[in-house]
Chains A and B, each alone.
Chain A
Amino acid sequence: QVTLKESGPGILQPSQTLSLTCTFSGFSLSTYGMGVGWIRQPSGKGLEWLANIWWDDDKYYNPSLKNRLTISKDTSNNQAFLKITNVDTADTATYYCARVHYGYNPWGQGVMVTVSS
């Protein structure tokens, strides 16, 4: 069974760096073809794709946030990470990670992040 779970700071202040962790089980990011993606959703709004990382460390970012995003992985501990620098209130959202497998499948439960002074 594949599961993913996101964790994050909950609340942070504008201009800080948001660090998110996706801890997964049931697959390995060292296996050929495997990937993890990050997607976010502001409250009451739609889904926005942020970044993907693959088994071979290939990475793709949403160009609308590219300069602020860094995705990485720790294959030994079955984790993927996303950092967003210089956050502001527009980054307040629920952040999801998901396995890249025939689309995004499955998804984590999401972690809510609030940016507020």
Chain B
Amino acid sequence: DIQMTQSPSSLPASLGERVTISCRASQGISNNLNWYQQKPDGTIKPLIYYTSNLQSGVPSRFSGSGSGTDYSLTISSLEPEDFAMYYCQQDASFPRTFGGGTKLELK
């Protein structure tokens, strides 16, 4: 199985700040990396697919990058609605696996 390790697990930040969340795979995943946002009510919203492609309707302040085993999600200027949990997920191989999550909190 491919293990996905996210860091940090918790990220205190302020409105307007630029933040980056990292995701490392235990082996190369050839850019087959997706990002999701989960709100406290459990709603899960897809953000980015195949490393850097924004899902429809996702604001342009979100961006993704990476290659090989190392990937990242960047939010250029935090808005109030961005404070949530974020998960990465690989679909390079089965079983599909998720990172442990990053909680983006208001500082």
| A interface residues (Cβ-Cβ under 8 A, vs B) | 37, 39, 41, 46-49, 52, 60-64, 94, 96, 98, 102-107, 109-110
Q: Which residue of A lies closest to B1 (CB)?
A: A63
CA–CA, A64 to B95, complex, Å? 9
Check A104 against B55 for contact (C-beta < 8 Å): no
Q: Is the CB of B87 within 8 A of A46?
A: yes
**3 closest cross-chain pairs (CB), A and B:** A103-B34, A102-B49, A49-B96
Q: Which of B43, B49, B99, B101 contacts A103 (CB 8 A)?
A: B49
State the B residues within 8 Å of A (CB).
1, 34, 36, 42-46, 49-50, 53, 55, 87, 89, 91, 94-101
Starting from the known contacts A60-B95, A106-B45, A109-B43, 12 additional A-B residue pairs (CB-CB under 8 Å) come to A37-B96, A46-B87, A47-B89, A47-B98, A47-B101, A60-B94, A102-B49, A103-B34, A103-B36, A103-B49, A103-B55, A104-B46
Q: Which residues of B contact A61 (CB under 8 A)?
A: 95
Count A/B pairs, Cβ under 8 Å.
62
Residue contact A49 to B49, C-beta cutoff 8 Å: no
- In the assembled complex, the Cα of A96 lies from the Cα of B45 at a distance in Å of 12
Asked whether, in the complex, the Cβ of B95 is within 8 Å of the Cβ of A105, the reply is: no
CA distance A41 to B96 in the complex (A): 14
Interface centre among A63, A64, A107 (most CB of B within 10 A): A107
Inside 8 A of B91's CB, which chain A residues have their CB? Answer: 103
Shortest Cβ gap from A75 to chain B (Å): 23
Chain A residue with Cβ nearest B98: A47
- In the assembled complex, the CB of A106 is this many whole angstroms from the nearest CB of chain B, namely 7
